[in-house]
């Protein structure tokens, strides 16, 4: 790794080599060559990233400690960037669009302040090598900076930096772009109409729905799939929490095509994310769909998760799926538990069981003394004074309830069996939770598993065992909340299996290849039976969505 100076960046962690003249010449040429490839590839332009990456590190007094002509004054600190842009212009000419992504304020006592950022912008304006600035706020050298400044997710208000962008635009003459949690068209339209910005970028919005522009043009703005700010796209998964096609475009379509065959009658049981997606995709395929949901409202565990304070935006997924079901004419029957008789009365060709799962406390020695995350978040059980939360998954559930309990006034300890906290969370969600748990004074204990819970004179005695040393310790608390995934609610599925053509068997090879499912040769029933989501096994929102998309798109 190379950098302007030997300053270790916290996020990428290496100790870099201070760039010498050979490094500079090589990298400047590489920038120019990359721009040339963009031009030859048929693009209209490219953007040079100068926000906390290499060029931005030269700009910043935090990362640039050089004593030569590339360090010191603002003019000197822009020299490397000017050399890069000069080389790019020489490569691509004047007609090719070249922009620069630039921080408009790094924050902190040592970072670039906004007057310096404007000075940098004016230097490049005068040089004439840049056509626009794409401005951001803050830095990118820690996960917290990414989570709150560069890629703010749920819990951060919509379009948090537009006022700063408007000020910056008033100080420079080139067009200004901006992209940071402007995740709906109405806000983007307002920002442009108000003169705060010339163009809005909606990166994560397009990850959730790459057809945003087409839907606006066709008058279907209300059908745009919203970005919920879950930031799964920023994790190694590189996926959207509720668009199963994102990152899988070779096999799964964003736009569902109608089936070439006669419409089927499809019955979906369960109105959580798996059931709603199954009903949506089957509706897009042109099938006649009935969805049974026992609760008064759709959403399932999404609805529960959205009650946890700052994660309320998960409700946007439920609302969008519900709206799509209305648009497609799906027969949605909420407040209607479905049994075997009711399903068969629909004379279905296909039955999809998406009944979800129940909190798994069966493994706990003393489970009768414990409650689940949903017990607390759905207000079936009130918080007490001293609460121990057991996190058996490393995802958001236990942390959500720990935060909720702490804000309700409980003294909370969160216990994880893993060697690190929140292993199954996207990194930016993890750091957001960590900050909130610190702020609420939630104690976090790692490397401990739950052994047993038993009554004590002063409440409940909880025995924990260190997963590395096998040494046990006790805690005296008033309440134990256990998160350990779910067990499938699959009674209806098993009751229907003997009556189905395929005995409830899903051909996994066909599922993964997005091929139609074939009934078993020996099947004598009159419908095919499948199950998706937590009715199969305890997983997450994204897995449930992908299950249903894979199955439905080939029906």
Q: Would you state the pLDDT for residue 523?
A: 55
Rounded CA-CA distance 92/32 in Å is 8
pLDDT bin (cut points 50, 70, 90) of residue 525 is confident
Rounded CA-CA distance 30/176 in Å is 26
CB contact at 8 A, 388 and 479:
yes
Rg (CA), the chain: 27
Residue 53 is among the residues annotated as catalytic for this protein:
yes
Tokens at residue 294, please? 């026992």
Q: Which uninterrupted H or E stretch holds 483?
A: strand 479-483
350-379: per-residue pLDDT in tens? 999 999 999 999 999 999 999 999 999 999
DSSP state of 147: I
pLDDT at 552 over 70: yes
Beta bridge partners of 97: 45
Q: Across residues 494-503, what is the average pLDDT?
A: 95
215-256: per-residue pLDDT in tens? 999 999 999 999 999 999 988 888 999 999 999 999 999 999
Mean pLDDT of all residues belonging to the chain = 94
pLDDT at 524 over 80: no
Tokens at residue 179, please? 């992209």
Among candidate residues 435, 447, 444, 477, the one with its CA nearest the CA of residue 460:
477
Rounded CA-CA distance 205/212 in Å is 8
Q: Across residues 206-211, what is the average pLDDT?
A: 95
Which distant-in-sequence residues (6+ apart) come within 8 Å of 99 by Cβ?
45, 46, 47, 48, 130, 131, 132, 133, 134, 177
To 10 degrees, the CA torsion angle through 419, 420, 423, 426? -170
Q: Across residues 185-201, what is the average pLDDT?
A: 95
Tell me which of 53, 105, 190, 327 is the catalytic residue: 53
412-448: per-residue pLDDT in tens? 999 999 999 999 999 999 999 999 999 999 999 999 9
Rounded CA-CA distance 54/80 in Å is 9
CB contact at 8 A, 275 and 533:
yes
Rounded CA-CA distance 458/478 in Å is 8
Over pLDDT 70: what percentage of the chain?
Answer: 99
Q: Would you state the pLDDT for residue 551?
A: 97
pLDDT bin (cut points 50, 70, 90) of residue 519 is low
pLDDT bin (cut points 50, 70, 90) of residue 553 is very high
pLDDT bin (cut points 50, 70, 90) of residue 9 is confident
Rounded CA-CA distance 78/456 in Å is 67
Rounded CA-CA distance 211/207 in Å is 9
Q: Would you state the pLDDT for residue 146?
A: 83
Among candidate residues 148, 156, 168, the one with its CA nearest the CA of residue 227:
156
Q: Give the least confident one: 27-36, 120-129, 479-488, 508-517.
A: 508-517
User: Strand order in 370-372's β-sheet?
Assistant: 370-372, 479-483, 386-391, 411-415, 443-445
Q: Across residues 23-32, what is the average pLDDT?
A: 98
pTM for the structure as a whole: 0.92
Q: Would you state the pLDDT for residue 152?
A: 87
List, in order of start, the domains of the chain with CATH numbers.
2-201 (3.20.20.70), 265-357+488-552 (3.40.50.720), 367-484 (3.50.50.60)
Q: Would you state the pLDDT for residue 308?
A: 85
Helix orientation angle between 21-40 and 79-92, rounded to the nearest 10 degrees:
40
Q: Would you state the pLDDT for residue 520?
A: 57
Give one DSSP letter per residue of 449-460, joined into a string. EEEEEEEETTEE
Q: Give the least confident one: 49-53, 118-122, 147-151.
A: 147-151
Q: Would you state the pLDDT for residue 145?
A: 83
Q: Would you state the pLDDT for residue 521?
A: 56
pLDDT at 321 over 90: yes
pLDDT at 522 over 60: no
Count CB atoms within 10 A of the CB of residue 513.
11
Q: Across residues 328-343, what is the average pLDDT?
A: 97
Q: Would you state the pLDDT for residue 13?
A: 86
């Amino acid at each position: 790794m190379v950098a302007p100076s030997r300053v270790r960046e916290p996020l990428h962690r290496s100790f870099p080599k201070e760039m010498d003249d050979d490094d500079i010449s090589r990298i400047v040429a590489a920038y120019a060559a990359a721009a040339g490839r963009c031009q030859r590839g048929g693009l209209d332009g490219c953007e040079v990233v100068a926000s906390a990456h290499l060029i931005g590190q030269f700009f910043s007094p935090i990362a640039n400690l050089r004593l030569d002509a590339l360090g010191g004054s603002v003019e000197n600190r822009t020299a490397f960037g000017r050399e890069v842009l000069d080389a790019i212009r020489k490569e691509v000419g004047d007609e090719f669009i070249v922009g620069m992504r630039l921080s408009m304020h790094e924050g902190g006592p040592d970072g670039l302040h906004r007057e310096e950022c404007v000075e940098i912008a004016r230097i490049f304006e005068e040089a004439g090598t840049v056509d626009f600035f794409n401005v951001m706020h803050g830095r990118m050298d820690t996960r917290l900076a990414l989570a709150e400044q560069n890629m703010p997710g749920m819990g951060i208000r919509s379009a948090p930096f537009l006022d700063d962008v408007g000020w910056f635009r008033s100080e420079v003459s080139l067009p200004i772009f901006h992209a940071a949690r402007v995740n709906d068209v109405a806000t983007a339209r307002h920002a442009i109409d108000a003169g705060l910005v010339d163009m809005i970028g909606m990166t994560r919005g397009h990850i959730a729905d790459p057809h945003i522009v087409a839907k606006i043009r066709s008058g279907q703005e209300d059908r745009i799939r919203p970005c919920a700010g879950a930031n799964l796209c920023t994790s190694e998964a590189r996926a959207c929490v509720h668009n199963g096609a994102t990152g899988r475009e070779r096999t799964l379509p964003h736009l569902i095509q109608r089936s070439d065959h006669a419409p089927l009658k499809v019955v979906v049981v369960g109105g959580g994310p798996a059931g709603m997606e199954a009903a949506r995709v089957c509706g897009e395929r042109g099938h006649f769909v009935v969805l049974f949901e026992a609760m008064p409202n759709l959403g399932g565990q999404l609805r529960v998760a959205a009650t946890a304070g700052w994660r309320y935006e998960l409700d946007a997924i439920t609302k969008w799926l519900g709206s799509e079901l209305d648009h497609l004419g799906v027969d949605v029957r909420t407040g209607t538990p479905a049994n075997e008789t009711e399903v068969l009365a629909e004379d279905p060709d296909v039955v999809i069981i998406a009944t979800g799962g129940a909190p798994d406390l069966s493994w706990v020695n003393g489970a009768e003394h414990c409650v689940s995350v949903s017990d607390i978040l759905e207000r079936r059980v009130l918080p007490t004074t001293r609460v121990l939360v057991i996190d058996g998954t490393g995802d958001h559930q236990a942390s959500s309830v720990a935060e909720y309990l702490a804000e309700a006034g409980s003294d909370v300890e969160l216990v994880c069996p893993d060697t690190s906290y929140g292993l199954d969370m996207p990194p930016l969600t993890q750091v957001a939770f960590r900050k909130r748990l610190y702020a609420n004074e939630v104690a976090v204990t790692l490397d401990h598993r739950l052994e047993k819970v038993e009554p004590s004179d002063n409440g409940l005695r909880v025995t924990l065992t260190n997963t590395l040393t096998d040494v046990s310790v006790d805690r005296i608390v008033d309440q134990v909340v256990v998160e350990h995934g779910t067990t499938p609610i699959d009674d209806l599925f098993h009751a229907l299996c003997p009556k189905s053509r395929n005995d409830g068997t899903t051909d996994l090879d066909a599922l993964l290849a997005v091929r139609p499912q074939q009934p078993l040769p020996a099947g004598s029933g009159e419908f095919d039976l499948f199950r998706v989501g937590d009715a199969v096994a305890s997983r997450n929102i994204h897995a449930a969505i992908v299950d249903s998309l894979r199955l439905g798109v080939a029906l």
